[in-house]
Structure 1
Amino acid sequence: MVLSLVSLCAREVVSDHSSSPCWLRCVPRELFRPLLEAAFTSCRPLAVGELAQRWPERTLRIGGRRKRGQTAPNRLCIQALLLAVVRGLSDQRCALQVLDLCGLPGDDGGMGDSMGGWSLTVALCSMVVQARAAGQRAQRKDRERERKRFSALERQKDLKRERGQLKREKEPNGDEASNDTLVGVLGEEELIKGVRRRMEIQRKKESALTGVADTTKENEENDLRSNVLVHVRADLFVNARSWERVHMALSTSGPLKLQCRYLRVEEISVSIIKSLLDLLPRQGLLGIDVRYSSLRVAGLAELLPLLSTFPALNSLRLHYCNLNFRRVHPGQEEALKNLSQGLAQLHELQSLSLTALHLPGQLRALLSSLPKPLEILELLYLSLSPADLAYLSCSHHASTLQQLDLSENHLNENTLLSICRLLSQASSSMQHLSLSGCGLTDTLLGLLLPSLGGCQVLRTLALALNPVSMAGLMELVRMAVRMPSLRQLLYPNPLEDYQPGLPDLPSSSQLLDWPLDEATAISRTSNQLSQVLIESRRSDLFLTCDLLNYDKDSVE
């Protein structure tokens, strides 16, 4: 990555923190962005805080999709940013109104010293609560200052009133009476009455102030709710350890208002998920990801109507949620009908991801009710039947699919025709395809290659953990280099790369656990594949067998 002259100069400026008082006074607003990016890249949390506290624009966006080779922001820099946002609430130089942290750091957190999704969510919630407390303290100080000023004005009025009374009570010769003469004229009884009158007025004032104090909390809530200074947008990651803190932050009224774009929840019940959804603004939520929560069919049917109240919701992910249609139990048909009706209410749904839900033979009942064709469909570990794949290849979703993941669904001769038909329907739209762990042998892969080659805009292809020989792999790579749109191929390790003892037709789990011959076989395979790339002049095609670090979104 070639850095511009502005970026190089910005890195040099933020590298010396002792000089920040000099350049912060005179730096133009156009240079705040490159300086902040340089501070994040060089891990300069003090510079990050100073720039964020004086941010001159309405919006500050940190996050989004990172380019290949670009690391996530450092944890200390993110913490400094959040602290600076709170300090900037009382800084007249700060014009910030929207802090956008969506896409930071990512779905499962970053590597190294970056801040993970769960830690970021907890830090954001703490920031919102702290800002509320600071706002309440500031309001109390303002109210106390105003009360003292009002009391001082009243005392001045009383003094002026008494002085006016003294001026009117003069001696017959017109001269002003002395204090001793005044005591003699008013008498002891009149002085007592004056003191009592002043005490009574003061008591009425105190009772009025007491009545105001009883409603102080309500007034503070109304003021904080109406005086939101900064809207904070983020992707929230909530689990059993943090949901109470997130619930508090979402229900808190203060100068910072927390908003959620994508909500990911793990290991929490349906009732808690519903309570969190009730606190989210209806327009901001784009997607929800539920993982390792025992929803069961009844819980999902209860959750779907609430999801339909979010008009912009376009993504639904359900992973390991204990939905099992393999076992026949009373009320199963009614539950499936409720699920279908709930999905029919999600009018903007474009992405659906299901993992390990055990729904063989039920794909038609679920997907046919969706009013809008899907663009992203992920069906992992679903034990799809031939009827499911046959429906999918002929459904109204087939021609609009841009991303399809059928990993860990066993394919054979009976289902391969449906896959080929599906790829033919999606040939002009499919950009990302994953068939990892599907039991594709050399024969099945050979039958599938023509349909794969017909995908005109395919950019990434994942075929890991399939029992393919070296000959089958070479055929796959030769086909891949003839696809001009393809940028990344996750290929399976050929059977020859494994150490002896592997079964003839190993499963994906066996291929994953069996040791590889890393001394000679892997390097020999890599050299042969590199030679194919050199001969075809495809320097833009990235080949990898690293399943753990494979990322389809890294393709530019």
Structure 2
Amino acid sequence: MVLSLVSLCAREVVSDHSSSPCWLRCVPRELFRPLLEAAFTSCRPLAVGELAQRWPERTLRIGGRRKRGQTAPNRLCIQALLLAVVRGLSDQRCALQVLDLCGLPGDDGGMGDSMGGWSLTVALCSMVVQARAAGQRAQRKDRERERKRFSALERQKDLKRERGQLKREKEPNGDEASNDTLVGVLGEEELIKGVRRRMEIQRKKESALTGVADTTKENEENDLRSNVLVHVRADLFVNARSWERVHMALSTSGPLKLQCRYLRVEEISVSIIKSLLDLLPRQGLLGIDVRYSSLRVAGLAELLPLLSTFPALNSLRLHYCNLNFRRVHPGQEEALKNLSQGLAQLHELQSLSLTALHLPGQLRALLSSLPKPLEILELLYLSLSPADLAYLSCSHHASTLQQLDLSENHLNENTLLSICRLLSQASSSMQHLSLSGCGLTDTLLGGCQALRTLALALNLLLPSLGGCQVLRTLALALNPVSMAGLMELVRMAVRMPSLRQLLYPNPLEDYQPGLPDLPSSSQLLDWPLDEATAISRTSNQLSQVLIESRRSDLFLTCDLLNYDKDSVE
């Protein structure tokens, strides 16, 4: 990545913190963004805080999709940013109204000293609660200052009124002795009355303040609710350890208002999920990700109607939620009907991800009720049957799919034809395809033709310009193919002009001796590789194919753990 002159200068400026008092006074608002980016890149938390506290624009967006090789922001920089936002609430130089942290960071927080999703959520909730407390203290100080000023004005008015009354009661022609006597007798009584009057007025004020204590609290809540200074948008990650803090932050009224774009919950019950959803604005939530929560069929059927109240919801992910249709239970048909009706109410759903739900033979009942064709469909560890794949290849979703993941669903001769038909239907839209761990062998892939069968399926419905393929990433890891099959796969991949990333399986020859003839994906994952010679030999052969085909834009990798399809530009 080539840095611009502005970026290089910005890095040099933020590198010396001792000079910040000089350039902060005169830096134009157009340079705040490159300076802040340089401070994040160079890990300068003090510079991040000073720039954020004086942010001159209405919106500050940190996060979003990162390019390949770009690291996530450092934890210290994120913490300095959040502290600076709170300080900026009382800084007249700060014009910030929207802090957008959506997409920061990924699910696992990336590598290095970056802040994970759970830590970021906890830090945001603490920031919202602290800002509320600071706002309440500021309001109490303002009210106390105003009360003292009003009391001082009242005392001055009382003194002036008493002095004027004493002057009017003096006789114009009386002698000094009579006046002194009048002041001594009547004046003392009037002064006493004046003191009593002031005490009564003060007592009434105190009783009034005591009597409207609840009203004052309500007014304070209304003021905090109406005086939202900064809206904070983020993707929230909630589990059993943090849901109470998140609940408190979402229900808190103050100068900072927390909003959620994507909600990820883990290991919490349906009732808690519903309580969190009730606190979220109906227009802001785009997706929900439920993991390792024992929803069961009844819980999911109870949750879906509440999800339908979010009109912009377009993503639903359910991973390991204890949904099992392999076993026959009383009322299972009714429960499946409720699930279908609940999914039918999600009118904007575009992405559906299901993992390990064990729904063999039930895919038609679930997907046919969706009113809008899906663009992203992930069906991992679902034990899909031939009937499921046959329905999917002919469904109204097939021609609109941009991303399909069928990993860890065993494919054989009975299902390969349905896969080819599905890819043919999606040939003009499919951009990301994953068939990792599906048991694809050289025989299934066309016997010494590797993915030639699938490659032909991708080209069936394309226009006469067969080179206008749109597939950008292809993942085929953990499939038991030989070295010959892998070479055919790579030769096919280099002929796809749009393909940018291929996650290829390690050939069987790269594993240490003792591997079964037809190993499963779990065996391929756990079995040790011959890292001394075999892997380097395979890598050299694949690199030679890329050089001969002049495909420097195609990235080949066998690293399943660090594979990221979203890193493709």
Q: Shorter-chain TM-score: what band?
A: over 0.9
Alpha-carbon distance in structure 1 between the residues aligned to 2:347 and 2:460: 37
Distance 1:7 1:137, change over 3 A: same
Higher mean alpha-carbon deviation, 165-174 vs 142-151, is at 165-174
Q: Does the CA-based 8 Å contact 2:259-2:284 persist in structure 1? A: yes
User: Cα–Cα, structure 1 residues 188 and 87, in superposed 2: closer, same or farther, change >3 Å?
Assistant: closer
Shift of 1:198: 3.2
Question: Aligned-residue CA RMSD in angstroms?
Answer: 2.2
SS in 2 for 1:318: strand
Kept in 2: contact 1:294–1:322 (CA 8 A): yes
Q: Secondary structure at the match of 1:523?
A: helix
Map Cα deviations across residues 202-228 of structure 1 (whole Å, 9 max, x no partner).
322222222243422111100000000
How far is the alpha carbon of 1:163 from its aligned partner? Answer: 1.1
8 Å contact from structure 1 (residues 499, 514) kept in 2: yes
What is the CA distance between 1:196 and its match in structure 2? 3.0
Query: In 2, distance between residues paired with 1:157 and 1:316?
Result: 67
Cα distance per residue 1:52-102 (max 9 Å; x no partner): 000000000000000111000000000000000000000000000000000
Deviations 1:332-389 (A, max 9, x none): 0000000000000000000000000000000000000000000000000000000000
8 Å contact kept, 2:225–2:253 = yes
Q: CA 1:191/1:142 → structure 2, altered by over 3 Å: closer, same or farther?
A: closer
CA-CA distance at 1:176 after TM superposition: 8.3
Shift of 1:458: 0.2
Question: Does 2:520 correspond to 1:507?
Answer: yes
Change beyond 3 A, Cα 1:409–1:177: farther
Cα 1:513–1:452 shift into 2, 3 Å: farther
Contact 1:430–1:455 (CA<8 Å) still a contact in 2?
no
What secondary structure is seen at the aligned counterpart in 2 of 1:95?
Answer: coil
Give CA-to-partner distance per residue, 1:467-507, whole Å, 9 cap, x none. Answer: 00000001000000000000000000000111111111000
| 1:510-551 deviation digits (Å, cap 9, x = unpaired) | 111111111111111111101100000000000000101100
Q: Work out whether residues 423 and 451 of structure 1, in 8 Å CA contact, stay in contact via their aligned partners in 2.
A: no
Identify unmatched segments of 5+ residues in structure 2: 446-458
Match of 2:492 among 465, 468, 479: 479
8 Å CA contact 1:437–1:463 kept in 2: the answer is: yes
Contact 1:49 1:81 in 2 (8 A): yes
Task: Write the deviation string for residues 274-331 of structure 1: whole angstroms up to 9, x where unpaired.
Answer: 0000000000000000000000000000000000000000000000000000000100
Contact 2:360 2:383 (8 Å CA) reproduced? yes
Q: Select between 280-289 and 108-117 the one with higher mean Cα deviation.
A: 108-117
CA distance in 1: counterparts of 2:506 and 2:400, whole angstroms: 31
Residue deviations 1:217-244 (CA, integer Å, cap 9, x gap)? 1111000000000000000000000000
State the match for 1:465 in structure 2.
Answer: 478
Counterpart check, 1:396 vs 2:396: yes
Rounded Cα–Cα distance in structure 2 between residues aligned with 1:455 and 1:425: 15
Percent identity of the aligned residues?
100
Task: String of CA shifts for 1:377-427, please: whole Å, max 9, x gaps.
Answer: 000000000000000000000000000000000000000000000000000
Secondary structure of 2:177's aligned partner:
coil
Q: 1:358 to 1:451 in 2, by over 3 A?
A: farther
CA 1:463/1:451 → structure 2, altered by over 3 Å: closer, same or farther?
Answer: farther
Q: Distance in 2 between matches of 1:480 and 1:453?
A: 14
Residues 455 and 519 of structure 1: CA distance in aligned 2, closer, same or farther (over 3 Å): farther
| Partner secondary structure for residue 190 of structure 1 | helix
Structure 1 residues 449 and 32: alpha-carbon distance in aligned structure 2, compared to 1, 3 A threshold: closer
1-side partners of 2:279 and 2:311: how far apart? 15
Cα distance in 1 for partners of 2:480, 2:193 equals 105
Distance 2:67 2:473 in 1: 16
- Give the direction of change, closer, same or farther, for the CA distance of 1:318–1:184 in structure 2 (3 Å limit): same
When residues 419 and 183 of structure 1 are mapped into structure 2, their CA distance, relative to the original with a 3 A threshold, is same
Q: How far 1:174 moved relative to its partner?
A: 6.7
Equivalent residue, structure 1, for 2:530? 517
| Cα separation, 1, equivalents of 2:400 and 2:487 | 31
With over 3 angstroms needed to count, the CA separation of the structure-2 counterparts of 1:183 and 1:534, relative to structure 1, is same
Contact 2:351/2:374, CA 8 A, preserved across alignment: yes
Q: Does structure 1 conserve the Cα–Cα contact (< 8 Å) formed by 2:166 and 2:187?
A: no
Q: Does the CA-based 8 Å contact 1:291-1:318 persist in structure 2?
A: yes
Question: SS of the counterpart of 1:151?
Answer: helix
- Per the TM alignment, residue 272 of structure 1 is displaced from its structure 2 partner at its CA by 0.2
Contact residue 398 and residue 422 of structure 2 kept, 8 A: yes
Alignment of 1:91-170 (within 5 A): 91-170=91-170
Secondary structure, aligned partner of 2:274? helix
Per the alignment, in what secondary structure is the counterpart of residue 463 of structure 2?
helix
CA contact (8 A) 2:427 2:461 kept: no
Measure, in 2, the Cα distance between the counterparts of 1:20 and 1:176. 73
8 Å contact kept, 1:170–1:176: no
| Alpha-carbon contact 2:480-2:507 (below 8 Å) kept | yes
1:127-179 CA deviation, whole Å, 9 max, x = no partner? 00000000000000000011001101100110110111011122342788898
Going from structure 1 to structure 2, the CA distance change for 1:203 and 1:531 (only over 3 Å counts) comes to same
| SS at 1:99 equivalent | strand
Change (3 A) 1:177 1:199: farther
Contact 1:121 1:238 in 2 (8 A): yes
CA gap of 1:499–1:161, structure 2 versus 1, over 3 A, is same
Cα distance between partner residues in 2 of 1:414 and 1:240:
43
Range that drifts further, 54-63 or 513-522: 513-522
Distance 1:145 1:325 in 2: 67
Give, in whole Å, the separation in 2 of the partners of 1:314 and 1:553. 18
Q: Is the 8 A contact 2:467 2:497 kept in 1?
A: no
**Secondary structure, aligned partner of 1:539:** coil
Q: Aligned in 2, Cα 1:188/1:53: closer, same or farther, shift over 3 Å?
A: closer
Count of paired positions: 556
C-alpha spacing 1:438/1:298, structure 2 compared with 1 (3 Å): same
Change (3 A) 1:454 1:361: farther
* Equivalence map 1:294-373=2 (5 Å): 294-373=294-373
Question: Residues 146, 479 of structure 1: CA spacing in aligned structure 2 closer, same or farther, 3 A cutoff?
Answer: same
Q: Which whole-Å CA distance do the structure 2 matches of 1:453 and 1:440 have between them?
A: 25
Preserved CA contact (<8 Å) 1:361 1:388: yes
Change (3 A) 1:448 1:460: farther
Residues 513/286 of structure 1: CA separation in 2 closer, same or farther (3 Å cut): same
8 Å CA contact 1:427–1:454 kept in 2: the answer is no
> Which residue number corresponds to residue 62 of structure 2?
62
Does structure 2 retain, via aligned residues, the 8 Å contact 1:449–1:479? no
Structure 1 pair 190–70 and aligned structure 2 pair: CA distance change class (3 A): closer
Residue 504 to residue 454, structure 1, CA distance change in 2 (3 Å): farther
* Cα gap change, 1:543 to 1:311, in 2 (>3 Å): same
What secondary structure is seen at the aligned counterpart in 2 of 1:443? coil
Matches of 2:339 and 2:226 in 1, distance apart?
39
**In 2: Cα distance, 1:180 partner to 1:111 partner:** 90
Do 2:170 and 2:179's aligned partners in 1 also have CA atoms closer than 8 Å?
Answer: no
* Structure 1 residue 108: Cα displacement: 2.0
Following superposition, the deviation at residue 8 of structure 1 comes to 0.4
Structure-2 change in CA distance of 1:186 and 1:301 (3 Å): same
Q: TM-score, normalised by structure 1?
A: 0.97
8 A contact 2:98–2:233 mirrored in 1? yes
Tell me the CA shift for residue 455 of structure 1: 8.3
Deviates more, 1:529-538 or 1:446-455: 446-455
SS of equivalent residue, structure 1 residue 79: helix
User: Is the 8 Å Cα contact of residues 361 and 387 (structure 2) preserved in structure 1?
Assistant: yes
* Whole-Å separation in 1 of the counterparts to 2:178 and 2:359: 102
Question: 403-412 or 189-198, which moves further after superposition?
Answer: 189-198
Task: Tell me the CA shift for residue 182 of structure 1.
Answer: 4.0
